Amino acid sequence: MPHDHHDHDDYHHEGMSSSGHPYRADNDGPLTYWQRMEIAVRELLVEKSHLIPAQIATQIEVMDARSPANGAAVVARAWIDPDFKARLLADASAASREMGFDIGPLNLIAVENTADAHNLIVCTLCSCYPRNLLGLPPDWYKTREYRSRAVREPRAVLREFGLDLAESVAVRVHDSTADMRYMVLPARPEGTEGLSQEQLASLVTRDSMIGTGLPRQP
């Protein structure tokens, strides 16, 4: 039995799959302008021998392999190694490379959450995100709603993410408008004194590095 739903009848509803869900329509619609453009550029690059298809597939795999776990490892190291933390806050690109992450030309700035300040990252102009370290951004990060509201009413946005900050905590929003990318260095949760670096990394969520969340409690 593929699902645990309780409302399935013994017969299948019209238009539903055998597991009781609507069939997903095939993507037979016309291509958008940018889809056509991507195909045209890709085929031209291959036709003119600048690239072979395997290189494109490999690059997609490389990007898909990047995940928030890379950033979590950086954060956990900063929590237990004060010298590394100092290097991270001084030059987050160099500190990430020092840990062995191939982040390409990424210009990364780490901003530290403290008892007095909470940082939030946004790109109002498009969807700038430290992809080379954290992987692809969540879909909501790219929405017009998040991009416009994060700079105008960050505290209201954070409350919707479940984070109700005291007025005494300053909110510092960072708009990635040009060449730098940002990650939040969240504050280390209390009660984590005995944990290993790996255990600490498992507490670091993607959202805690964007600033829309806090690390998990152990």
Partner 1 sequence: MAERVRVKALTPPGHVRVPWYLRGKTGEIERPLGAFHNPEQLAYGLSAEEKPLYRVRFSMAEIWGDAAENPNDTLDAEIYAHWLEKVVIHAA
Question: Where in the sequence numbering do the catalytic residues fall?
Answer: 123, 126-128
Contact with partner 1 (CB under 8 A) among 180, 189, 192, 218: 180
Considering CB under 8 A, how many residues would be counted as binding partner 1? Answer: 22
Residue 160 has φ and ψ, to the nearest 5°, of: -70, -25
Q: Is 37 in the site for partner 1 (CB under 8 A)?
A: no
CB of 172 to partner 1, least distance (A): 5
Q: Does 87 bind partner 1 (CB under 8 A)?
A: no
Question: Mapped to the 3 state alphabet, what secondary structure does 90-152 carry?
Answer: HCHHHHHHHCCCCCCCCCEEEEECCCCEEEEEECCCCCCCCHHHHCCCCHHHHCHHHHHHHHH
Q: Which of residues 135-154 bind partner 1 (CB under 8 A)?
A: 151-154
Binding of residue 36 to partner 1 (CB under 8 A): no
The alpha carbon torsion through 86, 87, 88, 92 (nearest 10 deg) reads 150
Q: How far is the CB of 164 from partner 1 (least distance, A)?
A: 13
Q: Kindly list the distances between the CA atom of residue 121 and the CA atoms of 41, 60, 110, in Å, as whole numbers in the listed order.
A: 32, 25, 10
Q: Are 187 and 114 in contact (CB under 8 A)?
A: yes
- d(Cα 95, Cα 170) in Å, to the nearest integer? 26
Q: What x-and-dash track marks residues 157-176 binding partner 1 by CB under 8 A?
A: ----------x--xxxxxxx
Examine residue 89 and tell whether it contacts partner 1 (CB under 8 A).
Answer: no
Give the nearer residue to partner 1 in terms of CB position, either 69 or 156: 156
Binding site for partner 1 (CB under 8 A): 107, 109, 124-125, 151-156, 167, 170-180
